[in-house]
Amino acid sequence: MSADQVRFGVVVFPGSNCDHDAYHIVKKVLGEDAVFLWHKETDLKDADVIILPGGFSYGDYLRCGAIARFSPVMKEVVRFAEQGGTVLGICNGFQILVEAGLLPGVLLRNASLQFICRYVRLKVENTSTRFTSACAAGEVLSIPIAHGDGNYFTDPETLERLEENGQVVFRYCDIQGRLTRDANPNGSLANIAGIVNEQGNVLGMMPHPERASDPLLGHTDGQKIFRSVIAHCQSMVFTSRGRV
Amino acid sequence: MYLSKIRITLRPSILDPQGKAVEHAVGSLGVGTVQGIRMGKYVEMKVEAKTEADAKRITEDVCRKLLANPVMEDFAFEIEKV
């Protein structure tokens, strides 16, 4: 690993199934360093960024993400996030983040009750986060979703706070960037597809940027999210403890 | 030993598309008018505790921290000695 490479730690829960995709993108496509972190581990192996990948951790038993939250590795991820570390939760990873209390709200069953697997358009609502700095203001990204429980919900007070703080990062939109009801695939409140925490270091999103990052697959909009994170980490100062 | 019988239900403010789908199916049974179907979960667990108050406290703790998500669910339970 060279000194300026960013190290991604991809957490693997029993039932994760997008872990290898995320690993492949950051390591093989974007040329950074990546390690897998088994859910029983308590050492984050000096990762600069933690990815909670998509899948069906613990078979989605009880509620999506509810059991993964109690994995030994999650104690460390919570500590890492509380210290300002960068955490990206994708799909099931987003569900785990809300269950762990790192992000507000909850992801309910899709309003249609159907599992939806297709490309959606996402409007980038905030480009000043460490996850979206490579995007243009109001840019419309094309990234696929694949979930049965992605219907974002929270109470009115929390929604107001999210909006005021610019914590809503991605919204489902049409090709022109309009936030219509038809463009909302799952019934999410205010077309919300992705949010950050108040500190801006934890992002949860239902769409899968790792599935739209390898040029071989034809879409590369997802790269913008990984490239933003990489640029952020490379701008950080090195200390004896690594990047802070 | 105590037995906790726990019911977890969606909060009234949360839409329940699953309940709606079932309601729709019930409608086609032709058994009369059935409304307001809401789906939930039922959990039983045995709790080792000295007193009923202790068993209640443990059950509440498990419900709050794991079995129910307070953002979308309410819970209620009964406890009996076994």
Query: What would the DSSP string read from start to end of B1-28?
Result: -EEEEEEEEE-TTS--HHHHHHHHHHHT
Work out the pLDDT band at B30, boundaries 50, 70, 90: confident
Which positions in chain A touch B66 (Cβ < 8 Å)? Answer: 62, 66, 70
| Chain B residues whose beta carbon lies within 8 Å of the beta carbon of residue A108 | 14-15, 72
Distance from CA of B81 to the nearest CA of A (A): 26
Interface test with B, best of A58, A102, A149, A153 (most B CBs within 10 A): A153
pLDDT over 90 at A244, yes or no: no
Which tokens is B7 given?
A: 């019911």
Q: Which amino acid is at A9?
A: G
Query: Among all residues of chain B, which has the CA nearest to that of A105?
Result: B71
HSE at residue A223, side-chain half, CA atoms within 13 A, is 16
Which pLDDT belongs to residue A240?
45
Domains, chain A: 7-243 (3.40.50.880)
Q: Active-site residue A91, yes or no?
A: yes
**By a Cβ cutoff of 8 Å, what residues of chain A touch chain B?**
62-63, 66, 70, 98-99, 105-106, 108-113, 153-155, 187
Q: Quote ipTM for the complex.
A: 0.83
B54-68 pLDDT, tens digit per residue, is 999 999 999 999 999
Q: Which residue of B18, B66, B73, B75 to mutate against A (max A Cβ within 10 Å)?
A: B66
- Where in chain A does DSSP place strands (E)? 7-12, 33-38, 49-52, 86-90, 106-108, 116-124, 140-147, 151-153, 168-173, 192-196, 202-205, 238-239, 242-243
Model confidence pLDDT, tens digit, residues A29-50: 999 999 999 999 999 999 999 9
- What's the pLDDT at B33? 87
A208 classed as catalytic: yes
- In chain B the domains, ranked by start, together with CATH numbers, are 2-81 (3.30.1280.10)
Edge-to-edge strand list for the sheet holding B40-47: B40-47, B2-10, B73-81
- β-pair partners for A195: A168, A204
* A117 is a catalytic site residue: no
Which pLDDT band, with edges at 50, 70 and 90, does B32 fall under? confident
Residues 6+ apart with CB under 8 A from A238: none
The count of other CB atoms within 10 Å of the CB of residue A113 is 11
The Cα A17–Cα A15 span in angstroms is 6
